[in-house]
Structure 1
């Protein structure tokens, strides 16, 4: 069985999709299957390091990227299919070629955000992108998604014309050495801060976290800090970083809330290893990788009761009602005061993290690849 894996999108992928693509690529090589021959369209590390379009900010730069992406999907990738003659083509970035292909397709659609949250996207871009998604759903296609919640959401918006399977992904393997000086450089003490890592997309609800943290400080007089690491949202419509910055100034939290921006893997490890707890207030997720990363580092997690996060946490996290500031504040206070609860959450999280691994990730793909399309 010959499988062609499309890795073109790694040249712009960030956060969750980048992790998905990189971890799957690593697992392919670490856990080979005797009946499957894998062909990569690109070398993963090299493609991820390509910065040609990562700094595309002007309209012309963005247009050039979209033209390059369209040319890849609709011309270059079909040519590679003709060249390598795979039995299966796997596209990990929502979109498969619109052209007819002589092979089976597995298309990974990570979530249903484009349909669920239209206000977060440019109208023309959303219409164009969802059109590309639908045009690529043809012939022998199976959709892969990240959680049962995402599967249910996709069935609602795409229907059941094509089978949809759930594959749980593996969290990022942080092999880089810990930056031993990062905490001290940022005036952070061990177990002296709550943590969130990710972009400032509106659906992440980070303004809610800042407000709840301000209330937490008022109720407890705690000396703990809040670290929100990550870059701005992917577009003006989606970006909540300015709102967060304004709230930090409004509440006088400049010394309490750290916004370090994008950080390297060694710095991420330092933050996970030193945090008191991880907080994930998102209103919509397809999966929730940071929960598993936090569990793996032995951190207790507070997360919204959004269905995908509840599914991934598997009862190992402390939930609050999505969007409810008072409830989130209450859970921050509870975690701060109840040492026994914190230790219990840590142990439950460690157990849950074992359910997600690179080997299980790739074995789920092996099973789908080697099973006939229903």
Structure 2
């Protein structure tokens, strides 16, 4: 059976979708199936390194990218389906071609954010993108999503005609050696800093984390720091980066809160290796990859009690009430003062991370690829 994997979107992806696509491609190659022939539209590493549309700022650049994306989905990708005689097309970036195809489609819709939080997106872009998603849900389509929470959310907004299956993804494989000098560059000491890694999207609640960290410092006189790694939000509506910068300055935390920007894998691994804890205050997630990354490195995790994060963490994290400044502050203090709790979370987290392997990730796809369920035609 020929399976065509669409990797075009890697030329702009910078967030969890990039991790999803890269790890899916890696797993397909690492764990081949005798009945499946994988065909990649692009080499993952080469497409990830394509700089043509990355960091496009002008309206013309953004328009050029959307036109390129539309041409790919509606013309070039259907041509590749025909050229290779694909039996299955996997689109891991929400959108499948609107054109009629002879093959089955597995379309990955990671979350329901476009419907749940319309205020976070430009109105015209959101309308356009949702229309692309819906037009691609046709013929023999099977929707894949990341958690049971995302499945329930999508069922509220999409037609019941399409089956939705949950496949837990694998976290990023940080196999390269950690940068031994990176912590020195940031003047960080082992186990003396909390971390958060991700974009400054509004839903991530990073200002809440900064405020809670300030409260933690006031009540404990701790010397610990907070490291915020990642880039700005993906749109003006979503971007909390300026707000965080102003808040850090207002609270006088310039020496305590380090905003690093995007980091290399070796730098991220160095941060994970020596962190005291990972803090994930997000108000809405479809999955929550950093939880598993942190647990895999033996780092305890504090996270909001948002449904997807509770689902992924199991009982191996330390949850706080989503959006509660006081509860998050208390959890930072608790983890700092209770060494027994911290050790317990590390042990539980290490075991929990084993449930999200690359093998289980790709096996979920093989199960659907090789055991087709009846869908709308």
TM-score of the superposition, structure 2-length normalised? 0.99
Secondary structure at the residue paired with 1:252? Answer: coil
Q: What is the CA distance between 1:373 and its match in structure 2?
A: 2.2
The answer for the alignment partner of 1:217 in structure 2 is 217
The answer for the alignment partner of 2:178 in structure 1 is 178
2: CA distance, partners of 1:361 / 1:277:
26
Structure 2 counterparts to residues 46-125 of structure 1, below 5 A: 46-125=46-125
Deviations 1:152-211 (A, max 9, x none): 000001131100000000000001110001111111100000000000000000000000
1: CA distance, partners of 2:340 / 2:145:
36
Given that 1:140 and 1:373 are in contact with CA atoms closer than 8 Å, whether structure 2 keeps it comes out as: no
What is the count of residue pairs matched by the alignment?
A: 374
The answer for the alignment partner of 2:10 in structure 1 is 10
Given that 1:3 and 1:36 are in contact with CA atoms closer than 8 Å, whether structure 2 keeps it comes out as: yes
The answer for the alignment partner of 2:260 in structure 1 is 260
User: In terms of mean alpha carbon deviation, does 304-313 or 76-85 score higher?
Assistant: 76-85
Deviations 1:57-79 (A, max 9, x none): 10000000000000000000011
2: CA distance, partners of 1:66 / 1:349:
40
Deviations 1:302-322 (A, max 9, x none): 000000000000110000000
Given that 1:282 and 1:322 are in contact with CA atoms closer than 8 Å, whether structure 2 keeps it comes out as: yes
The answer for the alignment partner of 1:319 in structure 2 is 319
Deviations 1:195-245 (A, max 9, x none): 000000000000000000000000001010000000000111000000000
Secondary structure at the residue paired with 1:25? Answer: helix
Mapped pair 1:38 → 2:47 = no
2: CA distance, partners of 1:116 / 1:159:
16
Mapped pair 1:245 → 2:245 = yes
Q: What is the CA distance between 1:42 and its match in structure 2?
A: 0.6
1: CA distance, partners of 2:81 / 2:184:
52
Q: What is the CA distance between 1:142 and its match in structure 2?
A: 0.4
Q: For structure 1, which runs of at least 5 residues remain unmatched after alignment?
A: none
Deviations 1:131-164 (A, max 9, x none): 0000000000000000000000000011311000
The answer for the alignment partner of 2:288 in structure 1 is 288
The answer for the alignment partner of 1:192 in structure 2 is 192
2: CA distance, partners of 1:207 / 1:336:
21
The answer for the alignment partner of 2:126 in structure 1 is 126
Secondary structure at the residue paired with 2:23? Answer: helix
The answer for the alignment partner of 2:304 in structure 1 is 304
Deviations 1:286-340 (A, max 9, x none): 0000000000000000000000000000110000000000000000000000000
The answer for the alignment partner of 1:348 in structure 2 is 348
TM-score of the superposition, structure 1-length normalised? 0.99
Q: For structure 2, which runs of at least 5 residues remain unmatched after alignment?
A: none
Q: What value does the CA root-mean-square deviation take over the aligned residues?
A: 0.5
